Amino acid sequence: MPLLTALGRRLLVVVPILAVVSMLLFTALRILPVDPAAMSVPPNATKAEIEVARRQMGLDRPLPEQYGIWLGHVLRGDFGRSIHLRRPVTELIGESLPATIELAACAMLVAGVLGLAGGLLLFALRDRAMEAVAETGTTLLMSIPEFLWALLFIFVFGVLLQAMPFTGRIDPALRLPLVTGFLLLDALLVGRPDILVSALQHMVLPATALGIAFAPPIMRVLRASLLDVYHEDYITQARLRGLSPARVLLAHALRNAALPTLTLMGVQFGFLFGGSLLVEVIYSYPGMGNLMVDAVRNADLPVIQAVGLTYCVVVLAINSVVDGLYLVLNPRLRAR
């Protein structure tokens, strides 16, 4: 029950934030020096035809009214039509959001595995001569943002070794089985191992580039938590009982050090989700990032608004889930 109350409280925070975000997005983009009406008509349209388009798009009404209309549509799941692509924005987001979530989830998996391995390595090296080297190593790793990893991987694995595909989600000769939009899942659902293999191959480079950039902070927090835990009494007791160091580490310490690490990974997931934008652009991966960059270049307001809002919703949703997990994993907090 306390969990539900906590989540309810969380919802009370999230809804006003979304309201403010949507308002900011709407007004900020209306001030832009572009005319959506003029851009929605064919090149040889007359001034009168532009005015007709303006009225049809509701752009002649006062700003608060426009916002009200837009919000009303949005709440019903209608983000309007893309000016540039001339398709319903909801459809565009429906096609690209699963791709981005899939990429972010795979990248998080990579970050988690690397973070765990690196954190344990750092911890094993504590109080040794190598410690300083290893720590400087993580600082240097943290200095390579995801888009540099992405470019380096293309160069090494795509161009030099020609070992990995680096454009798109799937081999162009294969057809996307559109069930859920999550390609890996869909390949399993329709029972097509060839699609699964191709999709995995296309996922390796972008997911690793994105994941590896977010691994070093996880390594550090895991190491720090493990160090903290080792000061606690029960570890000393376990050691005194003669348990092997490996057993102490895995059975006792790691479990107790997991909480801060998981919290951090939750926070990281939000950042990682935004960081996927550049990786998508570099790998021509058809997700929200590419949709966003295209929309920005073409001043496609309905798409920019919708994609901006979707990113916020996803980030807030991730944060809420992380908060919930935190409560589940840490019963002490629930009592408060």
Which residues 98-127 are close enough to bind other proteins by CB under 8 A?
A: none
Binds other proteins by CB under 8 A, chosen from 315, 321, 325, 327: 315
Binds other proteins by CB under 8 A, chosen from 39, 120, 188, 325: 39
Backbone angles phi, psi at 88, to 5 degrees: -60, 135
The token pair at 310 is: 């979707």
Binds other proteins by CB under 8 A, chosen from 6, 120, 124, 151: 151
Q: Under the criterion CB under 8 A, does residue 11 sit at the interface with other proteins?
A: no
Site string for other proteins, 154-183 (x = CB under 8 A): xx---x-----xxxx--xxx-xx-------
- SS3 of residue 80 by DSSP: coil
How near is the Cβ of 278 to other proteins at its closest, in Å? 6
The answer to whether the CB of 293 falls within 8 A of the CB of 113 is no
Q: Under the criterion CB under 8 A, does residue 44 sit at the interface with other proteins?
A: yes
CA angle 213, 214, 216 (to 5 degrees): 90
Tell me the Cα Rg of the chain: 24
Query: Which of the stretches 14-22, 57-65, 228-236, 321-329 binds other proteins when contact is defined by CB under 8 A?
Result: 14-22
Q: What is the DSSP string of 142-184?
A: HTS-HHHHHHHHIIIIIIIS--S--SSSS-TTSPP--SSS-HH
* Whole-angstrom distance, CA of residue 144 vs CA of residue 236: 38
Q: Under the criterion CB under 8 A, does residue 63 sit at the interface with other proteins?
A: no
Query: Which of the stretches 69-77, 113-121, 307-315, 322-330 binds other proteins when contact is defined by CB under 8 A?
Result: 307-315
Binds other proteins by CB under 8 A, chosen from 117, 148, 188, 325: 148
Q: Under the criterion CB under 8 A, does residue 306 sit at the interface with other proteins?
A: no
Backbone angles phi, psi at 81, to 5 degrees: -110, 145
The token pair at 204 is: 């390796």
Q: Of 64-93, which residues contact other proteins (CB under 8 A)?
A: 84
How near is the Cβ of 48 to other proteins at its closest, in Å? 12
Which residue number, 102 or 294, has a Cβ lying nearer to other proteins? 294
Binds other proteins by CB under 8 A, chosen from 7, 299, 325, 327: 299
Q: Of 196-215, which residues contact other proteins (CB under 8 A)?
A: 213-214
The H-assigned helical ranges of the chain are 2-30, 36-40, 47-56, 63-75, 89-124, 130-142, 146-153, 183-189, 193-229, 233-240, 245-247, 254-282, 288-297, 301-329, 331-335
The answer to whether the CB of 113 falls within 8 A of the CB of 299 is no
The conformation of residue 273, written as its DSSP 8-state character, comes to: H
Which residue number, 221 or 254, has a Cβ lying nearer to other proteins? 221
Site string for other proteins, 254-283 (x = CB under 8 A): ----------x--xx-xx-xxx-xx--xx-
Q: Under the criterion CB under 8 A, does residue 35 sit at the interface with other proteins?
A: yes
